[in-house]
Amino acid sequence: MTLLEKVWNAHTVRKLPNGQTQLFVGLHLVHEVTTPQAFDMLRARGWKVRYPSRTIATVDHIVPTRDQRRPFMDVMAEDMLSALERNCREAGIPLLDLKSGSQGIVHVIGPELGLTQPGMTIACGDSHTSTHGAFGAVAFGIGTSQVRDVLASQCLALEPLKVRRIDVSGTLAAGVYAKDLILEIIRRLGVNGGVGYAYEYAGETIDRLSMDERMTICNMSIEGGARVGYVNPDQTTFDYLRGRRFAPEGDAFDKAVAWWRSMASDADARYDDTVRLDAGAIRPTVTWGINPGQSVYVDERLPRPSDLEPAARASLAEALDFMGFHGGDPIKGTRIDVAFVGSCTNARLSDLREAARVVRGHHVAPHVKALVVPGSQGVRAAAEREGLDRVFTEAGFDWRNAGCSMCLAMNQDRLEGREVCASSSNRNFKGRQGSPTGRTLLMSPAMVAAAAIAGEVVDVREMTDGH
């Protein structure tokens, strides 16, 4: 069996008459944006939260990343956080708030605190919950009515999924990162290629990736249409989890490891589909369009409508028109206005280290606004212990407090007008970063750092001599 089948079977409460499965949810991660109505729906029916002990909350989407004094200047943000505080207090749900030292983007703190563990089912009212699959968990992003269902019953009604194994071999070249690998996968398989599937990332390249890198890959599974993405748990996973706050301790940890190992896909597991990919051929990648599948290598030119099948020409034309680009243009040399290192895709300590390595000794181009937003208070503190904050501020970056920031711009960090943003986040949809006409170029944190310094899209390999 695959890991998906094993975890699915272990959490099945019953098969529903409509063909769905009622699945028990081991961990429900909660944040301020998708929960207020869900709690109100429970209240209206007189229902209680079924398992407060399997629920944990934080605040990330709306928090200001500069001035975090309460009450927030943004009245809506203040209302949302106040509602979450009240709901958690009434239901007995632990809240990792701004005073906790553990607050951060929900998909950064779950793993960081050892809440996310192999073999679990995890749900959260945010699309990028697939991040937690990096640990061999089956993790679903859910909508507000499903948040209500999980709060009330700790269960979800779900359609069964097929499993596609994405087998990656070869070594990522210097200057090429997990972000480039997942952008390549999405470019090849398409933004809807994963609909109906769970993606199992496997092969020697994935085996060698750190947990941070695996999280970057799994995080963007949803951008390829896959409901969940996962990596089989292995020694890298167990080493990461040992000693974390919510991980088992002592003998319980060893027992857990034995069970976690048993949940990995069997060597002779059967897959609904298998795709093979050579990581060695990938180059630093930049999106040029309005979905994460519209990308090119930094030394390539944008596609021309005439290069494509007639059916694909309309979406290409729409994307080029929105971005103000022309088919055949090089992406390299595209002037940027904003550089954003942050988000649940790429705001972990290793991401900040890579960005800082590029930035050290340079200065942000005069016309660029650059900000680094750590994924959690824990990441921020660790980065400051290493002096990364000074590297960034001396180079002219803003060093901010933890939150989602400009990834979704439900706070004060947002693009203005037609600004172009080099961003380490995960979505380049129209209006995603706050301005309806703002333009997002997705890339690795190192590439964002390089673009901030140069003031335009550059090949990070040329700035770091390929190291």
CA distances (Å), 206 to each of 176, 184, 313, in order?
14, 14, 34
Residue with Cβ nearer ligand SF4 (163 or 349): 349
Q: Does 115 bind ligand SF4 (CB under 6 A)?
A: no
Cβ proximity to ligand SF4: between 322 and 429 the closer is: 429
Q: Which stretch binds ligand SF4 (CB under 6 A): 7-15, 101-109, 110-118, 356-364?
A: 101-109
Q: Where would I find the H helices in 282-417?
A: 310-323, 349-359, 377-385, 388-394
Per CB under 6 A, 134 contacts ligand SF4? no
Q: Could you give the CA distance from residue 43 to residue 49 in angstroms, rounded to a whole number?
A: 10
What gap in Å lies between CA 320 and CA 318, rounded to an integer?
6
Distance CA 281, CA 68 (A): 44
Cα separation of 82 and 86, whole Å? 6
Judged by CB under 6 A, which stretch of 103-111, 135-143, 283-291, 293-301 contacts ligand SF4? 103-111
State which of residues 5, 60, 419, 459 lies at the interface with ligand SF4 (CB under 6 A).
Answer: 60
154-193 residues in contact with ligand SF4 (CB under 6 A) are none
Nearest to ligand SF4 of 343, 401 (CB atom): 343
Q: What is the DSSP letter of 128?
A: G
Which span sits near ligand SF4 by CB under 6 A: 8-16, 37-45, 99-107, 141-149?
99-107
Minimum gap (Å) between residue 184 Cβ and ligand SF4: 20
- Closer by beta carbon to ligand SF4, 100 or else 464: 100
Q: Which of 126, 180, 354, 389 binds ligand SF4 (CB under 6 A)?
A: 126
Q: Based on CB atoms, which residue is closest to ligand SF4, 205 or 425?
A: 425
Burial classification of residue 310, based on how many CB atoms lie within 10 Å of its CB (0-12 exposed, 13-18 middle, 19 or more buried): exposed
Stretch that binds ligand SF4, among 102-110, 276-284, 305-313, 455-463 (CB under 6 A): 102-110
User: Quick check: 410 and 404 in contact, CB under 8 A?
Assistant: yes
Stretch that binds ligand SF4, among 105-113, 150-158, 181-189, 297-305 (CB under 6 A): 105-113
The Cα 97–Cα 284 span in angstroms is: 36
Residue 243 tokens, joined: 């000693």
**Between 65 and 87, CB nearer to ligand SF4:** 65
Q: Where are the beta strands (DSSP E) in 35-161?
A: 55-58, 95-96, 121-124, 138-141, 155-158
Beta carbon nearer to ligand SF4, 348 or 461: 348
Interaction between residue 105 and ligand SF4 (CB under 6 A): yes
107 binds ligand SF4 (CB under 6 A): yes
Q: CB 407 → ligand SF4: shortest distance, Å?
A: 3
Whole-Å CA distances, 11 to 132, 154, 325: 17, 11, 48
Minimum CB separation of residue 238 from ligand SF4 in Å reads 26
Q: In one letter, which amino acid is 185?
A: I
Site for ligand SF4 in 286-345 (CB under 6 A): 343-344
Binding residues for ligand SF4 restricted to 387-426, rule: CB under 6 A: 404, 407-408, 425-426
Question: What are 12's strand-pairing partners?
Answer: 23
Binding of ligand SF4 by 380 (CB under 6 A): no
Cβ 375 to ligand SF4 shortest distance, Å: 8
Cβ proximity of 117 and 66 under 8 Å: no
Nearest to 391 by CA among 369, 361, 371: 361
With CB under 6 A as the contact rule, the residue among 11, 61, 179, 187 that binds ligand SF4 is 61
Site membership for ligand SF4, residue 129 (CB under 6 A): no
Cα first-last separation, the chain: 40
Residue closer to ligand SF4 (CB basis): 26 or 342: 342
Binders of ligand SF4: how many residues, by CB under 6 A?
Answer: 14
Q: Which residues contact 91 (CB under 8 A, 6 or more apart)?
A: 39, 48, 49, 52, 55, 151
Q: Least Å distance between CB 11 and ligand SF4?
A: 24
Give the DSSP per-residue string, 233-251: --HHHHHHHTT-TTS--HH
Q: Is 128 near ligand SF4 (CB under 6 A)?
A: yes
Residues within the interface to ligand SF4 (CB under 6 A): 60-61, 105-107, 126, 128, 343-344, 404, 407-408, 425-426
